[in-house]
């Protein structure tokens, strides 16, 4: 039985609308620290079995549901990160995509009547109070207009705006705490991601914006019959109610159902990849939440997009860089890829870029024609360790939803075709661009890049020429010079430094604890001082634990580098 099925029928914590800012912050902090403590506890006892991971993931899903829409959205994003999380977490978090508990049909009907100012059956001839699906921000009901057209009515959950205001403060406080006491989180620019996340989240609860997004998306795909965008009925829509054309379909990740209908999952996969390349490289306006609950396939093999609340735009400069990066990836041009990623802010320039270039070269050579296999990075573990230590990669806030979309699509692509070939899947898009007349600056630039790529394919150097070119590049970068620096000695010195810190913290903790105990026993008049000393002992004890964890992580990294 899933975590969602185990939930009690009573209202969840976040559905009890009367909340204070302090109470909400306490809920968020408590949940975060309990989960972190559970992970630390499992690591301490080296309990990393599948059963334990499944238990932790189940606990996490139930608590994300209890915390509400903001955290359900976070869980949905994590459910697609097969590259970051164990399969037990992916399986449990996937329940958040389309199995979020619904609110009552009576509440939905009342919201519709208040928003549209009419009784429900004046607006619709039929209205089904049992929802078709429930999501984190709202739920969908089937209905029929008096004209006979079948529609779906998207109704927003009550009280979302007030809840988001509380979550904005609570998550902000949590990030400030992390920035101050967990210094290793600073390199991820969580503040920027936090601002971007809540900006989009507030846009999502305005269904008028979502309807406008749907109209814009439909216009971008005029002349593409295999991309279906449901029509918006504006006369029956407001900021909290959205009436759309009813377009049923098969879930995009249901491979068995697709094959049962005579559809080719590989061909559907190719259609989805080409569709997103058009959104990103041509339109600069893309669907930022393409999880399986928002994508479906019609019986004729067309791709149906649902839910246009989370859309994102790519600025012109970033789009130009993305075009260059895309074709550089197809050409396996490492230097061009690195330069483009630096211009977009994905890579922080560092003194020695050679480990980064070697890793990207490895990725381009191995994985442009098949999915990434994380275990193959064992072959370049030296470069991976060097990159891990220098941390040159970063995540620009404005690119958060781009990466979220790409990783989600990659997860779906692996389900539809475990051996999919990105280069082959992108060929129809490249060919369509080459054949274009190049109207407009952007389209013309893409067409020129595509033609350059075809010229490169025709004039591709021989294997021997490639080897000589790589040798020349390595000499220019100084990679063949003798390294006097001993990386093994450096790693040993770092371990000694951490171990010395741990020893100092251990001595301080023991000394303070004994001092407090002596004062507490021998001089009860100074009990308050004893308590203060015990608090200091607890703080130094936490520092000791942190140093021991750092030492353990450092030893594991060094063992990887040395084996």
* Catalytically active residues, by annotation: 289
Q: Which helix (H) or strand (E) holds 156?
A: strand 150-156
Rounded to an integer, what distance in angstroms lies between the CA atom of residue 532 and that of residue 87?
45
Burial class (CB in 10 A: 0-12, 13-18, 19+), 104: exposed
Q: How far is CA 213 from the centre of its chain?
A: 21
Rounded to an integer, what distance in angstroms lies between the CA atom of residue 158 and that of residue 241?
11
Rounded to an integer, what distance in angstroms lies between the CA atom of residue 15 and that of residue 102?
11
Tell me 184's DSSP state.
Answer: G
Count other Cβ atoms within 10 Å, centred on residue 462. Answer: 8
Closest CA to 498 of 549, 557, 561: 549
Rounded to an integer, what distance in angstroms lies between the CA atom of residue 266 and that of residue 544?
53
Strand partners, 436: none
Question: What distances in angstroms separate CA 390 from CA 347, 384, 394, one per listed residue?
Answer: 11, 10, 11
Where would I find the beta strands (DSSP E) of 161-272?
Answer: 227-228, 241-245, 250-251
Contact assessment for residue 170 and residue 28, using Cβ atoms and an 8 Å cutoff:
yes
Contact assessment for residue 70 and residue 13, using Cβ atoms and an 8 Å cutoff:
no
Count other Cβ atoms within 10 Å, centred on residue 142. Answer: 18
Rounded to an integer, what distance in angstroms lies between the CA atom of residue 104 and that of residue 529?
56
303-305, strands of its sheet edge to edge: 227-228, 303-305, 295-297, 250-251
Tell me 285's DSSP state.
Answer: E
Burial class (CB in 10 A: 0-12, 13-18, 19+), 82: middle
Rounded to an integer, what distance in angstroms lies between the CA atom of residue 108 and that of residue 138?
9
Q: HEC string of 93-138?
A: HHHHCCCCCCCCHHHHHHHHHHHHCCCHHHHEEEECCCCCEECCCE
Rounded to an integer, what distance in angstroms lies between the CA atom of residue 149 and that of residue 145?
5
Count other Cβ atoms within 10 Å, centred on residue 433. Answer: 23
Burial class (CB in 10 A: 0-12, 13-18, 19+), 3: buried
Locate 259 and state its tokens.
Answer: 């094959």
């Amino acid at each position: 039985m899933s975590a969602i099925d185990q939930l009690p029928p009573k209202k969840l914590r976040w559905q009890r609308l009367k909340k204070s800012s302090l109470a909400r912050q306490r809920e968020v902090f408590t949940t975060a620290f309990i989960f972190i403590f559970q992970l630390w506890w499992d690591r301490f006892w080296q309990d990393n079995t599948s059963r334990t991971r499944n238990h932790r993931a189940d606990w996490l899903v139930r608590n994300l549901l209890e915390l509400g829409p903001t955290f359900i959205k976070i869980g949905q994003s994590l459910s697609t990160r097969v590259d970051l999380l164990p399969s037990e977490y992916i399986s449990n978090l996937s329940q958040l995509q389309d199995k979020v508990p619904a609110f009552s049909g009576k509440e939905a009907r009342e919201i519709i009547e208040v928003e549209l100012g009419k009784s429900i059956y004046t607006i619709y001839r039929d209205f089904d109070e049992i929802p078709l699906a429930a999501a984190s921000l709202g739920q969908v009901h089937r209905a029929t207009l008096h004209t006979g057209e079948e529609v779906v009515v998207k109704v927003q959950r009550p009280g979302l705006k007030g809840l988001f205001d509380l979550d904005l403060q609570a998550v902000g406080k949590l990030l400030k705490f992390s920035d101050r006491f967990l210094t290793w989180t600073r390199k991820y620019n969580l503040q920027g991601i936090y601002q971007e996340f809540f900006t989009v989240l507030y846009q999502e609860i305005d269904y008028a914006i979502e309807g406008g997004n749907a109209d814009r998306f439909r216009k971008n795909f005029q002349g593409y019959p295999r991309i279906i965008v449901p029509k918006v009925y504006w006369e029956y829509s407001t900021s909290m109610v959205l009436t759309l054309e009813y377009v049923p379909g098969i879930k995009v990740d249901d491979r068995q159902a697709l094959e049962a209908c005579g559809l080719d999952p590989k061909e559907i996969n190719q259609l989805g990849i080409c569709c997103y390349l058009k959104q990103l490289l041509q339109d600069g306006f893309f669907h930022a939440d393409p999880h399986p609950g928002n994508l479906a396939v019609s019986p004729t093999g067309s791709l149906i997009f649902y839910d246009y609340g989370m859309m994102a735009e790519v600025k012109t400069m970033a789009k130009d860089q993305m075009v260059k990066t895309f074709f550089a990836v197809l050409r396996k041009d490492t230097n061009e890829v690195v330069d483009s990623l630096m211009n977009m802010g994905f890579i922080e320039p560092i003194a020695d870029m050679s480990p980064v270039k070697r890793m990207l070269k490895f990725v381009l050579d191995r994985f442009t024609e098949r999915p990434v296999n994380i275990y193959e990075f064992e072959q370049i573990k030296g470069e991976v360790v060097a990159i891990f230590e220098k941390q040159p990669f970063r995540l620009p806030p404005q690119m958060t939803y781009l990466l979220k979309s790409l990783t989600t699509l990659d997860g779906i692509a692996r389900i539809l075709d475990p051996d999919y070939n990105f280069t082959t899947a992108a060929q129809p898009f490249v060919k369509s661009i080459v054949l274009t007349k190049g109207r407009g600056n952007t389209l013309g630039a893409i067409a020129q890049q595509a033609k350059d790529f075809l010229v490169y394919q025709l004039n591709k150097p021989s294997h021997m020429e490639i080897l000589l070119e790589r040798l020349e590049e390595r000499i220019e970068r100084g990679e063949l010079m003798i390294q006097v620096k001993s990386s093994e000695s450096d790693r040993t010195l770092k371990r000694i430094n951490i171990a010395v810190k741990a020893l100092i913290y251990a001595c301080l903790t023991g000394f303070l604890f004994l001092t407090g105990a002596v004062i507490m026993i021998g001089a009860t008049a100074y009990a308050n001082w004893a308590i203060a000393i015990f608090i200091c002992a607890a703080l130094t004890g936490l520092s000791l634990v942190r140093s021991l964890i750092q030492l353990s992580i450092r030893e594991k990294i060094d063992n990887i580098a040395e084996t």
